[in-house]
Amino acid sequence: MLKNFKRFFIIALFTLLITSTVFAEDISTTSPIHDNTISSINSKNDDRDKDISVRNNDNYSINENINGNAFISTKNLTISPSKNTNLPLIVNGDVFAFSSNTIIESNVVYSDSKDKTGNYMIDKINSTSKIQGNVYVVATDTFTLDSGSIIDGDLYVSATTVNINNQSTIKGNLFVFANSTLNLNGNVSGSVYGITNICNISYSGHIEKDLALTVTESANISGKIDRDTKINSEKGKVVTSSDFITGRDLLIDVDNFEFAGEVKGNVKIIAKALGFNNNKNCVIHGNLDYSSKSEMSIPDGIVKGQTTFSKYTDRNSISYILLSKVISYISLLLYVFVISLIFKYISPNFIEKLSNITTTNIFIGLGVGFGLILALFPILLLLIITNFTISLAFVLLLSITFITAISVPLFILAISKAWKFEKINLYLKMLIVTSILFLVSLIPNIGTTLLLLFIIISVGKVLIGLFYKKN
């Protein structure tokens, strides 16, 4: 079974490498340039798609059409139409950017009038920047999708500040990790999934599917979400304004919540502090199920359906902490036993190989695990930047994730089998080893470090067992 797995893994990687190379060299039959932009492409590109790759520049600007993918590593990246023409700038593929600041901007004209938030309104858009594929950005400072700009695919972005400006469009989904702030004022045709310290969604923001958001400090939410809205903030404050509309259900699990706006479905709220804005723009068309410190008097007309109250459970209380730890312990046991039993059945010889535990191979496993961590990111970055191995990088990352997921249960099983104490059943040994590991993880300060070392050793041992033939 193990030999078959290794053969399949190698064949899959080789096949993806070949197909990635072919598609990167010539994909013109599947990704044609649209509209009237062919005339502005440099003639040396002829009728084939050409990727571009730029590294180690302080500043880089894309002002002409790209009939392929763009791989950019620079301090400041600007994607913008040429000032000398009203033709749009089109990138007919994906954009991969590693930078301090990245901006995708269009040629727009602002009027002298301001909207109700104090920003100047857009009079017209002369030319637009359009990315016809996905955009992947890692920016240490700021990412901005400026007014008039369009991303046809998904946007994956990690930055300190993320700005999705008014009248900009993401036709796919938005996946965002913002170390500081997410400002969403444009249109997202898909869903938004985000983790950020602060989130601001203005009245011009429109999400055509779902919003799933985790904030650490605060969120001010206006605009329209056509489907469900889910917001979590363990210690933060979330405020929805009278401009806020969600087309289906609202689920809130925060420390402090102030509600206004309109919810066309049901509402479930878990909040230590809860308040309602009593005006005509504050309405829940479905049912309200809320949990807070005390039952409150909700103004008439806000809830059209039924209202249910339950007592708020403080997450810092001893009972809540104990319950969460018990649930975590039971989940760990199920995870370990299910994975272990599956592999004990399909590959008993592999488990026997792992059970050869000595001080030497423990340190070897630790070295292999650390080596994997140190090498993984540079290898993935190299595969992505070399243009033709993106799918190979994805498969490599998926494979490492899979190995990491199975390594801890398999190593626990191996330790239990190596434990030479015949009076105790194997499964009881696994229960003891798993319980010790869980208790160690609870030790303040050093518990997490010890758990991480155990995981690293586990991954190293599994990798050695997969690719080293001698016991």
Question: Greater confidence, 385 or 174?
Answer: 174
pLDDT-based confidence at 466, cuts 50/70/90?
confident
**Residue range 351-382, pLDDT digits in tens:** 777 777 777 778 888 888 888 878 877 776 66
On whether the pTM is more than 0.85, the answer is: no
**What pLDDT does 4 receive?**
47
For residue 20, count CB atoms less than 10 angstroms from its CB and return exposed for 0-12, middle for 13-18, buried for 19 or more: buried
For residue 455, count CB atoms less than 10 angstroms from its CB and return exposed for 0-12, middle for 13-18, buried for 19 or more: middle
pLDDT-based confidence at 387, cuts 50/70/90?
low
Match 């050093």 to its residue by tokens.
446
Q: List residues bridging with 90 in a β-sheet.
A: 130
CA pair distance 171, 401, nearest whole angstrom: 29
Task: Annotate 219-241 with DSSP letters as a single string.
Answer: EEE-SEESS-EEEEEEEEEEEE-
Q: Minimal CA–CA distance to 35: which of 109, 102, 89, 106?
A: 89
The residue type of 457 is I
Percent of the chain surpassing pLDDT 90: 39
Cα–Cα–Cα angle for 136, 93, 35, rounded to 5 degrees:
135
Question: Greater confidence, 426 or 111?
Answer: 426
> CA torsion, points 243, 247, 249, 253, in degrees to nearest 10?
-30
Say if CB 178 and CB 197 are below 8 A apart: yes
**What pLDDT does 381 receive?**
67
**What pLDDT does 234 receive?**
83
**What pLDDT does 384 receive?**
60
pLDDT-based confidence at 109, cuts 50/70/90?
confident
**What pLDDT does 469 receive?**
57
- Domain ranges (residues) in the chain: 31-311, 318-467
**Residue range 158-204, pLDDT digits in tens:** 999 999 999 999 999 999 998 889 999 999 999 999 999 999 999 99
Check whether 394 has a pLDDT greater than 80. Answer: no
CA pair distance 205, 129, nearest whole angstrom: 20
The residue type of 456 is I
Check whether 142 has a pLDDT greater than 90. Answer: yes
**What pLDDT does 184 receive?**
95
Check whether 7 has a pLDDT greater than 90. Answer: no
DSSP, collapsed to helix, strand or coil, labels residue 329 as helix
CA pair distance 165, 184, nearest whole angstrom: 6
**What pLDDT does 293 receive?**
84
Average pLDDT of the residues in 259-265: 93
Average pLDDT of the residues in 116-139: 83
Task: Annotate 404-429 with DSSP letters as a single string.
Answer: HHHHHHHHHHHHHHH---TTS-HHHH
Question: Greater confidence, 70 or 30?
Answer: 70
CA pair distance 219, 213, nearest whole angstrom: 9
Strands 107-114 and 120-127: antiparallel
Q: Minimal CA–CA distance to 460: which of 360, 391, 377?
A: 360
Average pLDDT of the residues in 228-239: 92
Say if CB 188 and CB 208 are below 8 A apart: yes
Question: Greater confidence, 386 or 230?
Answer: 230
CA pair distance 262, 277, nearest whole angstrom: 11
Question: Greater confidence, 23 or 285?
Answer: 285
DSSP, collapsed to helix, strand or coil, labels residue 398 as helix
Instruction: Give the DSSP letter of residue 29.
Output: T
**What pLDDT does 15 receive?**
44
pLDDT-based confidence at 22, cuts 50/70/90?
very low
Check whether 462 has a pLDDT greater than 70. Answer: yes
Say if CB 255 and CB 272 are below 8 A apart: yes
Tokens linked to 16: 């993806």
